[in-house]
Amino acid sequence: MTGMSYLTIDQATKHYGATRALDEVCLDIEVGEFVTLLGPSGCGKSTTLRAIAGLLDIDRGSIAIDGRDFTKVPIHRRDIGVVFQNNALFPHMTVAQNVAFGLRMRNVPLADQAERTAGALALVHLPDFGARYPHQLSGGQQQRVAIARALVINPRVLLLDEPFAALDRKLREEMQMELRDLTRRVGITSVFVTHDQEEALTLSDRIVVMNAGHIEQVGTPDAIYSRPETRFVADFMGARNILETTIVCIDATNATLAWHGTTLRAPLLAHHWLIVDRVVAAALRPESIRIVQLPMEGENATSGQVISKIDQGAFVTLKVATGPHPDETLIVRQTKVDQARNGPCAIGDTIGLSWEAADVVILRDAPRSTARTQVTIPLTSQSIRAARTP
Partner 1 sequence: MDSGDRISRSARLALLAPAVLVIAFCLGGPLALLLSYSFAPGGSTRADFSDGLTLENYVGVLGDTFYLGIIFKTLWLSVLVTLAAILVGWPLAYFLWKMPPRFKTLCTLGIVAPLLISIPVRNYGWMLILGDTGLINKALLALGLIARPLRMMFTDLAVVIGLTHVLMPFVVLSVLASLERIPGDLAEAACSLGANRLTAIRLIVIPLSMPGLLAGATLVFCVASSSYVTPALMGPSGAKYSAVLIYQQFVSVFDWPRGAAVAVVLLVITAFALILVLGSADRRYRHLLRSH
Partner 2 sequence: MRPAFALLIAALYIFIFAPLVVVVVISLNGGTVASLPIESWSLRWYFKAFETTAFINGLWTSTWLAVAATLIAAPLALAAAIAIARADFLGRNELEAFLMAPILVPGIVIGIALLLSASLLQLHDAPVRLLVAHVLIAFPYCMRTIYASLTRLDPVLVDGAMTLGANRWRVFWHITLPLVRPGLIAGMIFAFLQSFGDVPISLFLTDARNNTLPLTIMSYLEYNVDPTVAAMSSLVTLASLLLALGLERLAGLRRALG
Query: Shortest distance, CB of residue 59 to partner 2, whole angstroms?
Result: 19
**In the complex, what is the shortest distance from the CB of residue 54 to partner 1, in angstroms, rounded to a whole number?**
9
Distance CA 29, CA 350 (A): 50
Q: What is the CA radius of gyration of the chain?
A: 25
Residue 56, interface with partner 1 (CB under 8 A)?
Answer: yes
Please answer whether residues 142 and 89 qualify as being in contact, where contact means their C-beta atoms are separated by less than 8 angstroms. yes
* Residue 163 near residue 148, CB atoms below 8 Å: no
CB of 98 to partner 2, least distance (A): 9
Q: Is 114 exposed, middle or buried (0-12, 13-18, 19+ CB in 10 A)?
A: middle
Given the complex with partner 1, which of 9 and 283 has the nearer CB atom? 9
User: For residues 310 and 18, what is the distance between their CA atoms, to the nearest angstrom?
Assistant: 43
Select from 111, 120, 107, 13 the least CA-distant residue to 60. 13
d(CA 273, CA 253): 13
The yes or no reply on residue 76 touching partner 2 (CB under 8 A) is yes
3-state secondary structure of 29: strand
Nearer to partner 2, 75 or 122 (CB): 75
Q: Which of 23, 24, 79, 205 binds partner 2 (CB under 8 A)?
A: 79
- Window 31 to 50, contacts with partner 1 (CB under 8 A): 50
- DSSP-derived pairing of the beta strands 290-292 and 254-259: unpaired
Distance, in Å, from the CA atom of 349 to the CA atom of 309, rounded to the nearest integer, reads 11
Q: Is 73 in the site for partner 1 (CB under 8 A)?
A: no
3-11, 55-63, 125-133, 134-142 -> range binding partner 1 (CB under 8 A): 55-63
Q: How far is the CB of 96 from partner 2 (least distance, A)?
A: 14
Backbone phi, psi, residue 184, to 5°: -70, -45
Nearest CA to 282 among 254, 245, 255, 311? 245
Using CB distances below 5 to 8 A depending on partner kind, what does residue 57 bind out of partner 2, partner 1, none?
partner 1
Choose among partner 2, partner 1, none what residue 56 binds, the Cβ cut-off being 5 to 8 Å by kind. Answer: partner 1
Choose, by CB under 8 A, the member of 7, 25, 63, 153 that binds partner 2: 153
Q: Which of 19, 31, 40, 57 binds partner 1 (CB under 8 A)?
A: 57
Q: Is 72 in the site for partner 2 (CB under 8 A)?
A: no
Please, which residue, 55 or 379, has the CB nearer to partner 1? 55
Residue 16 makes contact with partner 2 by CB under 8 A: no
The residues that touch partner 2, with contacts defined as CB under 8 A, are 53-55, 74-82, 84, 86, 88-92, 101-102, 105-106, 149-150, 153
